[in-house]
Amino acid sequence: MVEPTENNLPPRWADKLLRFFLPDELAEELQGDMHEQFTYQAEQLGFTKARWLYVWEVLRFCRPYFLKRRFLSKSPVGIHSDTVPIFSLIMIRNYFTIAWRNLTRNKAFSLINIFGLAIGISCFMLIAVFVYDELTYDRYAANAEKIYRVNVAVTGNGNIATYPNVDYAVGEGMKSTFPEVKDYAQVSQATDFVKFGPNQFKEQHLAFASANFLQMFSIPMLEGNAEKALVEPNTIVISKALATKYFGDQDPLGKSLAIGTQQKEFKVTGLFDKIPDNSHFHFDAFISISTWHVTNPTWSNLGPYTYIELYPNADPQKLEAKFQQLVLKYVVPEVQRDMGISIEEARKSVDTFRFLLQPLTELHLYGGTKYEIEPGGDIQYVYIFAVLAIFILLLACVNFTNLSTAQSVKRSKEVGIRKVLGSVKKQLVIQFLAESILITSLAMVLAYAFIFLFLPYFNQLANKTLSFWFFLNYKVVLALLLVSFISGIVAGIYPAFFLSSFNIIRTLKGALFSKSRQKKPLQSSLIVFQFTVSTLLIIATIVVYQQLQHMQNKKLGYDKDQVLFLPDTRVLGSNQMVFQDQLKQDNRVVSASISRMVPGNNNLNGTQVYPKNEKSNGVEIHIDIFNIDYDYIRTLGMKIVQGRAFSKEFSTDSSGVIINESAVRELGWKGLNPIGRTIVRSGQHEFKVLGVVQDFNYASVKQKVAPAMMMLGRNYGGMVIKFNTADVNGFVADLNKKWESFNPAAPLEYYFLDEKFATLYAAERRTQQIFSAFAVLAIIIASLGLFALSTFIIEQRKKEVGIRKVLGASVSGIVQLLVKDFIVLVLIAILIASPLAWYAMNEWLQDFAYKIDIQWWMFVLAGLLAVLIALLTVSFQGIKAALMNPVKSLKSE
């Protein structure tokens, strides 16, 4: 006799599997027969094959269909539900079969649930991807967590001005002074022409970068050495797209590009793929910063963007606290020299001068200065997106909960019968949760269709370039499945326990819901919640729209209508003035000025100034510089409020300046006559104040007007043209022809000042669109739920309506009776939403220097819209019920 071992017995796991799926008494009987068969097969075929055949037989017995037949054949009356495991395959199949029958039996309610949940899930997933993209900016660098940008903050007259670009000496000074600093890198953005063949092409995204910039930021190189590519002067590393543009399929390494009006040659020493989308800069080429040959770098002015990389054990906060010693060692002597003051006065002057560290991973969402390389995001809008997405998903879940509990009358007898036949509460809960999960699964499929359809609009709304293929990534699919499953559980958990807890006797007698007007606090609360969210979003949309209109219609202090700006007239060289004179001869041209500095542009220079012989007025201030000609103020329609504008009649005007009203206040001259006073800028250059121009918003209205001064001197960067004609297209066409006659190689580039002004409020416009879109979605979901719920409740009161009509009630009276309860709930929602909206929008408005006051009519308008939407939703069913023939409604079932 063979001793029993692991190798000559049936697999234990197969026996366990058999006992898991079959009732104990059935499993024991089958197992005995199968062990006898195993022994026979082992003798005939061998133990290995016998074991495989045993496993095959076990799997056959575990098939749901076969199990079902075996259960039914063993008992003439069937097996009691308690003998079948709740989570067996046959029961799971049974749960979803019944769930599908209930869905198809109540098509209208099922479609509303599926449609609402699909909207909620699709919105949630789109926003989740947006939030993920925003929070992962600048994390592609290998040591991103240890890279910081060096900012400088200057306090003057109670205001703190932060600049993201520091002077040239700062990076090297920090590295050589502090052992915590592993390395530093610098970059400065540029825009210039690239000459290729007979033509010139404007490249908007060029940069001068230090030799180690590519390595610090892990720029994905295709060719060339990231460590050495930018070491030598006059070298350039270009993107794959730029290489294809100029060299086609040829290898660009070793070739040259001519850049700038002087057509300086730069040798291509490297090729990179592309800058990742979620980066705070997107350059097409990096030029060696050593090309500039910066001599005697300074500390106290503004220069390139400077980044430092710290060693792993370095503490950035402790390091930042040490920076003040650099200010005392380097900045103070420079200020003393430039201002011609004592060391004590210089130290007092820069007492509020601070170097700060900002983590690389926070630049996109927390940058916030007007001097950023690119406009960044805003953590505030990330929060807004995320909260609204969660609310939309909750609204859809609320719909499901409300409609499921509303159908409790129809399901009550079903629950009673199931309990009489032996169903336990656990089985009923699982059954109702299965229905919920089935609905959310179908909603998930529809959500993918919504994502596919509306992704282009979402990209436009959120200023993203997300692809639909991203949503097919297995991680995203798993996340969507998880969201759908959780949504199904959240939406179905209350109805499941609510329906499964019905009393058997009362449900079968029909007494549980015998009172047609029984109060349902949960349903009422959920309706209030839905319309609270909807009303809050309507109010927010109104406030954002009014703030946007306020900013766009605010008096700017200059004329932006029918003003053209040509940013590249420097390519005309000495012909700029000739081109200007010819334009002035056109009777459609009111005025033309040579200057590259216009409101809305971000290429202003700045400097520190202080009043001469008035040191008691306070510290020096930072002031933005406009280099202009004699026609600039007239061309832009600015107003001189004191003194005069520049004039060719005064030869000494080249040493004079015109300052704005903000500069007068910052210099401590408020209430005094500033005309004839002298201000001094770095290097002891003195300028006499000739006039004061009315404050004009040369940046976003979101910010206060900063101090500015205008200096006379031709700035050969661009040209501002004020014209007056109804045929704008014809004027632009003639302007293009005139440009080609001067420089056919470079294309004419221009923009209208009013259009440029509008781009300053892109973030606010997106906010308005976000609130509008979410408000519409919230209203749709709430209206769908209210429509279905009112339909169901009015159906319950059908006989009551018939009796009232027989007794003489009017149609309007019946409609009023039916909709009254719903309107009361909406009014409660308005009362709750109004203070919440006021607080939230008041906080949002704090970020604006020039903001509206929240008016009472905004809340009234939002409330009226919410009531109107509820009336339209409920009244349709109310009128339909009121017009029904009472004979039909009073007939017995």
Which residues make Cβ contacts (< 8 Å) with residue 594, sequence separation at least 6? 569, 576, 577, 580, 629, 631, 714, 715, 716, 718, 719
Amino acid at the residue 487: S
- DSSP, collapsed to helix, strand or coil, labels residue 607 as strand
Q: In this structure, are residues 364 and 281 in contact, taking their beta carbons and an 8 Å threshold?
A: no
Write out the two tokens for 291: 């090309």
Write out the two tokens for 306: 């400077």
DSSP string covering 664-695 = HHHTT-TTS--TT-EEEETTTEEEEEEEEEPP
Percent pLDDT > 70 in the chain is 81
What are the strands of the beta sheet with 719-723, ordered from one edge?
A: 589-594, 719-723, 563-566, 751-752
Write out the two tokens for 622: 């930072």
Instruction: Note the pLDDT tens digit of each residue in 355-375.
Output: 999 999 999 888 777 788 888
Please name which of 423, 419, 430 lies closest in space to residue 503, comparing C-alpha atoms.
419
The mean per-residue pLDDT over the stretch 859-877 comes to 84
Which pLDDT belongs to residue 184?
94
Report the alpha-carbon distance of residue 36 to residue 345 in Å, rounded. Answer: 105
pLDDT band at 425 (very low <50, low <70, confident <90, very high): low
Which pLDDT belongs to residue 82?
47
DSSP string covering 70-94 = HHHHH-TT---GGGS-TTSHHHHHH
Residue 200: beta bridge partners?
195
Sign of the four-CA dihedral 479, 481, 485, 487: positive
Determine how many CB atoms are found less than 10 A away from the CB of residue 54: 22
Instruction: Note the pLDDT tens digit of each residue in 95-126.
Output: 666 666 667 777 777 787 788 888 888 888 88
Matching residue, tokens 């509990």: 405
Phi, psi of 588 (to 5 degrees): -85, -15
| CB hemisphere CA count around 340 (13 angstroms) | 11
Which pLDDT belongs to residue 494?
65
Residue 765's Cα: distance from chain center in Å? 13
Report the alpha-carbon distance of residue 867 to residue 426 in Å, rounded. Answer: 41
Which strand (E) or helix (H) includes residue 622? strand 621-628
pTM of the model: 0.74
Q: In this structure, are residues 285 and 278 in contact, taking their beta carbons and an 8 Å threshold?
A: no
3-state secondary structure 227-271: CCCCCCCCEEEEEHHHHHHHHCCCCCCCCEEEECCCCEEEEEEEE
Phi, psi of 712 (to 5 degrees): -80, 130
Residue 159: beta bridge partners?
156
pLDDT tops 60 at residue 618: no
Phi-psi region of 226 (alpha: psi -120 to 50; beta: other; left: phi over 0): alpha
Write out the two tokens for 412: 């009550």
DSSP string covering 418-444 = HHHTT--HHHHHHHHHHHHHHHHHHHH
Highest mean pLDDT among 245-259, 473-487, 548-562: 245-259
Matching residue, tokens 């997405």: 389
Which pLDDT belongs to residue 686?
83
Which pLDDT belongs to residue 457?
86
**More confident of the two residues 21 and 731:** 731
Which pLDDT belongs to residue 6?
58
- DSSP, collapsed to helix, strand or coil, labels residue 401 as helix
Q: In this structure, are residues 150 and 307 in contact, taking their beta carbons and an 8 Å threshold?
A: yes
pLDDT tops 60 at residue 32: yes
Average pLDDT of every residue of the chain? 80
Write out the two tokens for 208: 């001068």
Matching residue, tokens 């759908």: 484
